[in-house]
Chains A and B, each alone.
Chain A
Amino acid sequence: VPTLHTLPGSAPEITEGYIQMFYLSKIEHTLRLPPHLLNLPVNQAIKGELEGLFLDKVIADLGLCISIYDIHSIDGGFITPGDGASTYTVMFRMIMFRPFVGEVIAAKLKESDREGLKLSLGFFDDIHVPEHLLPMPKQFEPESGNSNQGRWIWEFNGDNYPIDAVDEIRFRVHHVTYPSLPVEQEKASKPFAPMIVTGSLDADGLGPISWWV
């Protein structure tokens, strides 16, 4: 069963100011190379396996895996009896995406309903701006009748500023959570979990960029 852990001493500190949007995480991972990959150079086969395992997946507290940055060392190559595959222990660095509290990020509007907004960066979608973190005073304008979908409008100095999907929206990261999945995961599955970023638009300079520029 593959194991996954960060090396002691290199785990990022969980204090503000040390957590950054993109950062490098050192990881040690043991994996099996299936026999059909044995004709490839080892480095290439291993990089391919690591990418298949990690890219675009979230590791709780570490963030979303973006890219394999480099491979520090590869140990092993032993073939366990009765198994055509060889086992390797790899030390490598990955570029991780993990927004920090207070970070200002530009995103696009994905959804807008009574509960608030959902924003997207293209490569990451789980950004929520709950209605209580929208600038006030505000009003919700439903699409039609009792519809749950609709747009939010900020009222300022007698003018209406709607939040539309027209231009980029700047939000500030309020907090980041890694809720554990409710279903039981199989023994061999990786400890991947969703990452939810909660954002706020409630400050000068935040919201659709056309409001300010």
Chain B
Amino acid sequence: VKANDGVLTNFEVLNFLRSRGAGKDLTRVIAPIAPSEFKVYDYLEQTAACSQTRESIISFVGKSKQYKLAEAEILNLINIRPSSVVEIDPIVEECDKRMGEGVEELVEMVLQVLPTPPSQMQSDDQVEFNKDDVREGQEVEAS
């Protein structure tokens, strides 16, 4: 068994919970999901994972190879989905030294390959993430 065989991105955990009916049961009583699991679902639905797909993640991992990033850094990029150079800073160690100008290319790649999370789709003025709006949107899709 490979040591990193069991690693899961936020997306995979969210997908697992969705496949058991987490997003479909509005009452939260019928689906066989524990309250503590619903809390994890609620958290992940607010992160970039909620609009990601398996294909986009696989594509991203492939395109990351040229940047010689550590596995943990790639995982962080997928989970956080930074949209600017300053957001990449805490994720890639010694970013300036290792990447120089290349970091802007990396940001472009992230923006293109990984879907935009709902929080970043709101207008530039409104930085606050309105959780209720997203929930409502999801409920409409589910019905």
Contact = CB atoms under 8 A, between A and B. Distances in A.
Interface of A: 9-10, 12-13, 16-18, 20-26, 51, 55-56, 66-67, 69, 93, 95, 97, 100, 102-106, 121-123, 166-168, 170, 172, 203-206, 209-210, 212-213
Contact of A23 (B1, B7, B128): B7
A203 to B, nearest CB: 5
B143 interface: no
A69 B88 contact: no
Contact of B127 (A26, A203, A213): A213
Interface of A is mostly: loop
Given A16-B72, A22-B13, A100-B72, A206 B90 contact: yes
A9 B5 CA distance: 12
Contacts of B83: 213
B33 to A, nearest CB: 8
A27 B47 CA distance: 29
A97 B47 CA distance: 16
B43 A121 contact: yes
Contacts of A21: 8, 10, 75, 79
B86 A204 contact: yes
B49 to A, nearest CB: 10
B12 A9 contact: no
B6 A25 contact: yes
B142 to A, nearest CB: 20
Given A26-B6, A95-B16, 19 more contacts: A22-B8, A22-B13, A24-B8, A55-B34, A56-B34, A67-B13, A67-B16, A67-B40, A102-B72, A103-B72, A104-B80, A104-B90, A105-B79, A123-B36, A123-B42, A167-B128, A205-B89, A206-B90, A210-B127
Interface in B45-68: 46-47
B129 to A, nearest CB: 7
Contacts of A18: 3-4
Nearest to B79: A21
B65 to A, nearest CB: 16
B37 A66 contact: yes
Given A167-B127, A205-B88, A103 B76 contact: yes
Given A18-B3, A20-B8, A106 B47 contact: yes
Given A104-B90, A204-B86, A66 B40 contact: yes
B47 to A, nearest CB: 6
Interface string B113-137: 0000001000000011100000000
26 contacts: A17-B4, A20-B72, A20-B75, A21-B8, A21-B10, A22-B10, A22-B12, A24-B6, A55-B36, A55-B37, A66-B36, A66-B40, A67-B16, A106-B46, A106-B47, A121-B43, A122-B40, A123-B39, A123-B40, A123-B43, A166-B128, A167-B128, A168-B46, A209-B127, A210-B127, A213-B83
A203 B76 CA distance: 16
Contacts of B8: 20-24, 95
